[in-house]
Amino acid sequence: MRRIWLIFAQSVTVAVAVVFVLGTFKPGWLQQAPRMTWPQATPTAPASGVPVQVADDPLPTQPLSVAARKAAPAVVSVTASKTSKINPANPHAEDPWFRYFFGQRGEQDTEDPQPQIGLGSGVIVSSEGYLLTNNHVIDGADEIQVQLSDGRTAKARLVGTDPESDIAVLKVDLDRLPVVTLGRIDQVVVGDAVLAIGNPFNVGQTVTSGIVSALGRSGLGLSTFENFIQTDAAINPGNSGGALIDVNGNLIGINTAIYSRSGGSMGIGFAIPIDLAQQVMNGLVRDGQVTRGWIGVQPRDLDPEFAQNFKIPVSEGVLITGVLQDGPASKAGMKPGDVVVRIAGQPIRNTAQLLNVVAALKPQTDAVVGVLRGQQAMDLKVHIAQRPRQQVQ
């Protein structure tokens, strides 16, 4: 027993001596090794005292600069020049005072010695040289020039225009063209981050950022077919025809207009959705025109007060205020006062939706139009005609 106790005492003495030596000469060896743990949310309390969870290591996000670098090379500057026509019957057309007091009312009655220059933007959407821009950028132009972001310039040929959607298609003959990737409008939601790329005020290519503020904006009086993307990304004069892209650098819209009291950006801009722009481009390239359906009616949104007074059992629909004589709707039996609630199986809630749905129908085909005539629901079989081409100012 005494021997065991002696061995134990000696072992303890040696261990204490080893610890003393290590603590004196190698203290780092005795520190506790760090433990591996999963990242945890750290509870914090803001000034209000309400506890919230804040992640220690938030997940990294892709910078918008990546999207800008991907799409920017395909955005071009568009210069449209035109010369106003003189009225030969007016002998005072060259008199500056006469032009000041009378001639400036209409550009068609005067001629400026210098050609008028219009500035805008465009987007290369095909390696074959096709560009999308706005109709109002090149309307009436005698010559159109485009400048790429790499400095190259070329004369553009006008393929076709569609004033009713404010879309124009140009074509340039250049090699190694940068092309933007088209996005999907059905994947765009309110709140998505977007970038607007164009040439505002001719200062050079500019990128601005914002979000999708709203979808399906209509009733603005900008064009016949309105289904705009609204954004707060800064859009200014010169941005018309430029690109609205998503965070992946895909084209989702063609910038076309702004709401402004000063002429500059006030945070409300509008872009034509890429699906509509692509549909128009395909029609212009293939047929030289856009083929749309037409039924020959004059519609207006259904007023809830009107629906209540006339005891119409619906609150959404389109009131028909006029029917073209011998038009498709007239031949099918539609009358003023009818309320259209459905076309080809699609519910109709407002005038813009009616125009878009009818325009998408193929001419020379039949479609069933659901209407309410007072309290009576009716289905009318309408033979769709081709929409006449119109010039929208």
- Token pair of 295 as six digits: 């039924």
- 166 given a catalytic annotation: yes
- The dihedrals phi and psi of 276, each to the nearest 5 degrees, come to -70, -45
Rounded to whole angstroms, the Cα distance separating 84 from 319 reads 42
Closest CA to 373 of 342, 337, 343: 337
Rounded to whole angstroms, the Cα distance separating 295 from 328 reads 5
| Beta carbons within 8 Å of 269's beta carbon, 6+ residues apart | 196, 230, 231, 232, 233, 234, 235, 239, 255, 257, 258, 259
The answer to whether residues 293 and 363 touch, using CB atoms and an 8 Å cutoff, is yes
| Beta carbons within 8 Å of 347's beta carbon, 6+ residues apart | 316, 341
| Beta carbons within 8 Å of 343's beta carbon, 6+ residues apart | 354, 357, 358, 361, 367, 368, 369, 370
Token match 């092309």: residue?
179
Alpha helices in the chain (DSSP H): 2-25, 64-71, 96-101, 135-138, 274-287, 304-309, 328-332, 351-360
b/e map 133-163, b = 16+ CB within 10 Å: bbbbbbbebeebbbbbbeeeebebeebbbbb
Which candidate in 213, 240, 301, 338 is catalytic?
240
Q: Tell me which amino acid residue 290 is.
A: V
Rounded to whole angstroms, the Cα distance separating 232 from 267 reads 4
Which candidate in 77, 136, 223, 338 is catalytic?
136
Beta bridge partners of 229: 271
Token match 């970038």: residue?
195
- 383 given a catalytic annotation: no
- 240 given a catalytic annotation: yes
| Beta carbons within 8 Å of 286's beta carbon, 6+ residues apart | none
Which candidate in 162, 166, 232, 246 is catalytic?
166
**Residues with a known catalytic role:** 136, 166, 240
